[in-house]
Structure 1
Amino acid sequence: MKVRLCVCYFVKAEKLTPGGLPVRTVLTSYYKSKHFKCRAHDSFNDFTSPDQAILCKDSNQSMYCQLLSGLVHRHQVLRIGAVFASALLRAISFLEHNWVHLVNDIRSGQVDPMITDPECRSSMSMILSSPNPCLADEIEEICSRPSWKGILYHLWPRTKYIEAVVTGSMAQYVPALDYYSEGSCLWCTMYASSECYFGVNLEPLCDPADVVFTLMPNMCYFEFIPLGENGKWLMDVGEEEEVPSDKLVDLVHVRRGCYYELVVTTFAGLYRYRIGDVLQVTGFHNQAPQFRFICRRNVVLSIDNDKTNEEDLHKSITAAKKLLEPYGALLVEYTSYADTSSVPGHYVLYWEILHHASVIKDTPIPLDAKVLQECCIAVEEELDYVYRRCRAYDKSIGPLEIRVVEPGTFEALMDLFIGQGGSLNQYKTPRCIKSNAALVLLNSHVKASFFSPRDPTWIP
């Protein structure tokens, strides 16, 4: 039995160093290698997309062809996958804007003229070997519905699970994926980076919030910088600082409940390389420690003495966005910025909000200003003691601001970073914006701005 996998994988055009050496992302390197191109047939890992669509350098043409392939084989698909949850949501958005063209291709049996890549056209012409008006009518009926809740399940009814990274900053996308998949199981199977493959999730059926990884010692030599326990950092090592060897802990000496920054020595030649990920030991599988991904050390907001990391930011926004639910609204994406252009400086959150009723029509329904102000308060109440002291007592930080941006703003942000050399396949929305060009783009799409109407609670 074939287990067809509808994928959203992409390559990035490589660059050359001044010495002529090719530079490319690890996934692009794999997709272009003989290990991928000449792989043996695997009936449990059979992609709906032809390799030519995955290897197409134009991400829009690649996306179009991969979605078209998936729709043609919709009754055979048992799994849907992308590297990161963000890429899968980008595919859903692309489908929302292009399903009419895709349906026309299936109905006519001909590829849309927008597909100009010769290899993509050739491979897709073989898939669209003849007109299929019945299939086109099925897809048109589904995509024309007033709500896209459960759209993945309706388009691919035999899907057993969705596979993508949903930990760390990707946890933000879990509610949106639940909405579009109507609660289908989300699998987060691996922990890896461009530097090395680290470990696996031994319980892929677990809730995304409970995902832990078991590191595999044959991948590299693991060491750890102790950071603390119970959420309190005991050691503050700068990102560029060299860590004394006597401060490093190896894999067998980590302790349950403690936080560590990951350091690796790899077969490829990296020596004591700081990955920048903060992990917490949650338990053990036999004698092997298991880790929960917490955050990236280099994502932090700071105005005064405050230091807000990615985990704190995510927790606070997770609490605040619940206030949107009674209004049928969904926070689909966010980022932040420490605005020091005024005194005192303040935190700025950029929110893209989607109302469930506007998933198809793309007609945003405005929320009452009081609701967004309450969201500002909820975020501040969840931030740590130091931030709340600076806000309520020291007055060294101004009221938190939420800037609501137009639908599609974060797709434009993704396009900006990809245009600057980023990879669509490995793109992650930065949780703290430091690029002037990105700030200009975000601010140009702001629809409304809301400030926290009061100080957060602070008890000396």
Structure 2
Amino acid sequence: MTVPAISGADTNLEDYDIVRWFEDIADNAAQVQTQILKRIVKLNCNTEYLRNRLGTEVLNIEELEPEVVESLYTSLVPLSSHSDLDPYIQRIADGDDSALLTQEPITMLSLSSGTTDGRQKYVPFTRFSSQSTLQIFRLAAAYRSRVFPIRAGGRILEFVYSSKQFKTRGGLTAGTATTHYFASEEFKTKQKTTKSFTCSPYEVISAGDYKQSTYCHLLLGLLFADQVEFVTSTFAYSLVQAFTAFEDVWQEICEDIRHGTLSSRITITNMRSSVLDYIAPDPALALEIESKCKELNSSNWHCMIPRLWPNAKYVYSIMTGAMQPYLKKLRHYAGDLALVCADYGSTESWIGVNLGPLDPPERVNFTVVPTFSYFEFIPLSLIVNRGSEYSLANDDYEEGEPLPLSKVKIGEQYEVVLTTFTGLYRYRLGDVVEVAGFYKGAPQLNFICRRKLILTVNIDKNTEKDLQMVVEKGSNLLSQKTKSELVDFTSNADTSKNPGHYVVYWEIKGNVEDEVLNECCREMDLAFVDHGYVVSRKTNSIGPLELKIVETGTFRKILEYYIGNGAAMSQFKTPRCTSNQVLLRILGDRTIKQFRSTAYR
């Protein structure tokens, strides 16, 4: 089974063709997977990495059945993490062009965001990476168009951002995966051939300054407001940031539309020139937008998106995992407009497509696309009872032997393992998923959490999902008792004094009485259900939880820190726990109030 060629205009017939293609490979997912693995091994069996592990077992690979290759591969090639592959990737970055991980030379490296484990990692990027990105975009769009048909010639209000590429010591181009994709022929093909295309030209996407790009995205989105079919960004965070920014700049945008000018805040020459090509004085449109914005401002910008973009059919973005805390604010802006969760992938590989656009983000599942990688799943058996509300931390379960895609069971949880066309072999992704069902022969996955433990002081073990549930309980109390809202949050396990304790940082919009914040602090401390945390708090092996309130704009400073160090707005995720001393200094310098929990006294 080969990945279909990407060609031609994006017509209804092509929508039908790509759906038929996916139905066929989903029907035969197990067989497709063995063929994909044989193809990967055949292409790369003479690389240093595979040769050292497979030896001579696959010299006659053409004559071997795919199932035999699968058996040999999984028995001889060990599971790996990024630390196992990093020496090879670093040699590639330094200019070693021998066949280390892939037979074909790797000329580009992607950078992960670095917000999950605190440092950015290099990941090989090849043309297959761009092809698979375009493929999943077309596939997802075909299924969405069944529910939300869009007009030919319409536009997409797309808040996408490229960052700067740079050269490694060995001369390879490095940058974020989104940056590579936006610079690729595949993206240019998509822009030219899809039924709807973005409001913003490439010069806005590639500007490298997210504040200036956001302003231009908003301005151009309003110029083409009646043509906008849907609103999208890679992450829900980017959408919330964009519309929050609009609350501050809408009057300036109206002036630009009224007079056919462009704000002096736009200083990047080629972006300024390209945007001015679209602008002409339009007092009537400016007056219409101004009138709507005054009404929206009086209602705290509720239903901003459907009011300003009346023909938009839905909002489309990644809304699971670390993005879930932004759903409340996004729903505030979207009103009754559908929130459609985008597809499941990572810097390393695309994994699954959302075939149910009407499913709310909290209940979405992703159907594995069996041609993107060879997938394995490590069974995770819970061995510590954490009550009805639990998530998985490193010592809470036993691992079974990795299973192929066809052997997973509904209701069970697994860690995802990838073998990719880009040189990752039995690579532990660190994502925990639950199998919700099957679409034909392809499993459908619910994303549960990142496996990485983020909060621990003693014998306590809490993950990002645990923290999210705790903060949600605290913020629910905040919204019940006040009209204020939680803007963003992070945390730190402070072990500088004995006993150590958790610190949760909140940025809040609105004024809140100290009594309410004290209650929120206590509520969060009691909300941790991890047995190790509860016992440690009762015995004072962990101190009282501390809630610190930071100044308005603190989390924007954190965003700017990451972007200044090479992250792209399109891939940014607020770190939910940090030990980064620069971030802790930003948070500490901008702390304006702090509270200690009175729970467990």
Q: CA 1:148/1:232 → structure 2, altered by over 3 Å: closer, same or farther?
A: closer
Residue 299 (structure 1) shift: 4.6
Deviation digits for residues 427-454 of structure 1, max 9, x if unmatched?
0000111210001101111121112112
| Aligned AA (1:97) | D
CA distance in 1, matches of 2:333, 2:558: 22
Q: Does structure 1 conserve the Cα–Cα contact (< 8 Å) formed by 2:370 and 2:442?
A: no
Verify: 1:52 aligned to 2:203, yes or no: yes
CA distance in 2, matches of 1:183, 1:339: 42
Q: Does structure 1 conserve the Cα–Cα contact (< 8 Å) formed by 2:191 and 2:197?
A: no
CA distance in 1, matches of 2:553, 2:544: 27
CA distance in 2, matches of 1:325, 1:94: 22
Verify: 1:258 aligned to 2:412, yes or no: yes
Q: Does structure 2 conserve the Cα–Cα contact (< 8 Å) formed by 1:211 and 1:292?
A: yes
Q: Does structure 1 conserve the Cα–Cα contact (< 8 Å) formed by 2:366 and 2:444?
A: yes
| Aligned AA (1:348) | V
Q: CA 1:395/1:235 → structure 2, altered by over 3 Å: closer, same or farther?
A: closer
Q: Which residue number in structure 1 is paired with residue 229 of structure 2? A: 78
Verify: 1:288 aligned to 2:442, yes or no: yes
CA distance in 2, matches of 1:113, 1:377: 47
| Aligned AA (2:281) | P
CA distance in 1, matches of 2:305, 2:490: 26
Deviation digits for residues 87-115 of structure 1, max 9, x if unmatched?
11111122222222211111111222332
CA distance in 2, matches of 1:217, 1:32: 26
Q: Which residue number in structure 1 is paired with residue 292 of structure 2? A: 142
TM-score, structure 2 as length reference: 0.70
Report SS of the residue matched to 1:164.
strand
| Aligned AA (1:180) | Y
Structural mapping, 1:235-384, within 5 Å: 236=395, 247-326=401-480, 327-354=482-509, 364-365=510-511, 367-383=512-528, 384=530
Structural mapping, 1:399-410, within 5 Å: 399-410=544-555
Residue 45 (structure 1) shift: 2.7
Q: Does structure 2 conserve the Cα–Cα contact (< 8 Å) formed by 1:49 and 1:69?
A: yes
CA distance in 1, matches of 2:581, 2:288: 46
Q: Which residue number in structure 2 is paired with residue 431 of structure 1? A: 576
| Aligned AA (2:567) | G
Q: Does structure 1 conserve the Cα–Cα contact (< 8 Å) formed by 2:319 and 2:342?
A: no
Structural mapping, 1:387-402, within 5 Å: 387-392=533-538, 394-402=539-547
Verify: 1:173 aligned to 2:321, yes or no: no
Deviation digits for residues 132-166 of structure 1, max 9, x if unmatched?
11111222223333321222222112221100111
Q: Which residue number in structure 2 is paired with residue 87 of structure 1? A: 238
Deviation digits for residues 360-414 of structure 1, max 9, x if unmatched?
xxxx32x22222222222222221222111101x210111111111221111110
Q: Which residue number in structure 2 is paired with residue 357 of structure 1? A: none
Residue 418 (structure 1) shift: 1.0
Residue 263 (structure 1) shift: 1.1
CA distance in 2, matches of 1:398, 1:193: 36
Report SS of the residue matched to 2:558.
helix
Q: CA 1:267/1:282 → structure 2, altered by over 3 Å: closer, same or farther?
A: same
Q: Does structure 2 conserve the Cα–Cα contact (< 8 Å) formed by 1:380 and 1:388?
A: no
TM-score, structure 1 as length reference: 0.90
Greater Cα offset, 220-229 or 75-84: 220-229
Corresponding residue to 1:187 among 315, 335, 340: 340
Greater Cα offset, 28-37 or 119-128: 119-128
Q: CA 1:183/1:330 → structure 2, altered by over 3 Å: closer, same or farther?
A: farther
Q: Which residue number in structure 2 is paired with residue 414 of structure 1? A: 559
CA distance in 2, matches of 1:10, 1:159: 21
Report SS of the residue matched to 1:116.
coil
CA distance in 2, matches of 1:278, 1:401: 29
Residue 236 (structure 1) shift: 4.2
Q: Does structure 2 conserve the Cα–Cα contact (< 8 Å) formed by 1:87 and 1:425?
A: yes
CA distance in 1, matches of 2:189, 2:465: 41
Greater Cα offset, 322-331 or 447-456: 447-456
Q: Does structure 2 conserve the Cα–Cα contact (< 8 Å) formed by 1:150 and 1:180?
A: yes
Q: CA 1:237/1:216 → structure 2, altered by over 3 Å: closer, same or farther?
A: farther
State how many pairs are aligned.
439
CA distance in 2, matches of 1:157, 1:407: 31
Q: Does structure 2 conserve the Cα–Cα contact (< 8 Å) formed by 1:3 and 1:79?
A: no
CA distance in 2, matches of 1:174, 1:386: 30
Q: Which residue number in structure 1 is paired with residue 283 of structure 2? A: 133
Q: Does structure 2 conserve the Cα–Cα contact (< 8 Å) formed by 1:56 and 1:117?
A: yes
Residue 232 (structure 1) shift: 7.1
Report SS of the residue matched to 2:192.
coil
CA distance in 2, matches of 1:149, 1:283: 36
CA distance in 2, matches of 1:299, 1:28: 29
Greater Cα offset, 281-290 or 269-278: 281-290
Corresponding residue to 1:153 among 291, 306, 310: 306
Q: CA 1:57/1:40 → structure 2, altered by over 3 Å: closer, same or farther?
A: closer
Q: Which residue number in structure 1 is paired with residue 586 of structure 2? A: 441
| Aligned AA (2:487) | V
Verify: 1:219 aligned to 2:372, yes or no: yes
Greater Cα offset, 431-440 or 292-301: 292-301
Q: Which one has the bigger strand percentage?
A: 1
Q: CA 1:299/1:49 → structure 2, altered by over 3 Å: closer, same or farther?
A: farther
Q: Does structure 2 conserve the Cα–Cα contact (< 8 Å) formed by 1:77 and 1:159?
A: yes
Q: Does structure 2 conserve the Cα–Cα contact (< 8 Å) formed by 1:167 and 1:208?
A: yes
Structure with bigger gyration radius: 2
Report SS of the residue matched to 1:143.
helix
Q: Does structure 2 conserve the Cα–Cα contact (< 8 Å) formed by 1:300 and 1:310?
A: yes
Q: Which residue number in structure 2 is paired with residue 360 of structure 1? A: none
Q: CA RMSD in A?
A: 2.1
Q: Does structure 1 conserve the Cα–Cα contact (< 8 Å) formed by 2:391 and 2:466?
A: no
Report SS of the residue matched to 1:79.
strand
Deviation digits for residues 226-269 of structure 1, max 9, x if unmatched?
2225857597499xxxx99x822221122222221111000111
Greater Cα offset, 59-68 or 184-193: 59-68
Deviation digits for residues 201-232 of structure 1, max 9, x if unmatched?
11121111101111111110011222225857
CA distance in 1, matches of 2:393, 2:409: 14
Residue 169 (structure 1) shift: 0.9
CA distance in 2, matches of 1:220, 1:174: 30
Q: Percent identity?
A: 39
Residue 77 (structure 1) shift: 1.4
Q: Does structure 2 conserve the Cα–Cα contact (< 8 Å) formed by 1:280 and 1:291?
A: yes
Q: Which residue number in structure 1 is paired with residue 597 of structure 2? A: 452
Q: Does structure 1 conserve the Cα–Cα contact (< 8 Å) formed by 2:155 and 2:228?
A: yes
Q: CA 1:323/1:298 → structure 2, altered by over 3 Å: closer, same or farther?
A: same
Q: Which residue number in structure 1 is paired with residue 183 of structure 2? A: 32
Q: Does structure 1 conserve the Cα–Cα contact (< 8 Å) formed by 2:318 and 2:342?
A: yes
Q: Does structure 2 conserve the Cα–Cα contact (< 8 Å) formed by 1:68 and 1:102?
A: yes
What are the ranges of 5 or more consecutive residues in structure 2 without an aligned counterpart? Answer: 1-150, 383-387
Greater Cα offset, 320-329 or 279-288: 279-288
Q: CA 1:311/1:40 → structure 2, altered by over 3 Å: closer, same or farther?
A: closer
Moved over 3 A (4+): 38-44, 229-238
Residue 86 (structure 1) shift: 0.6
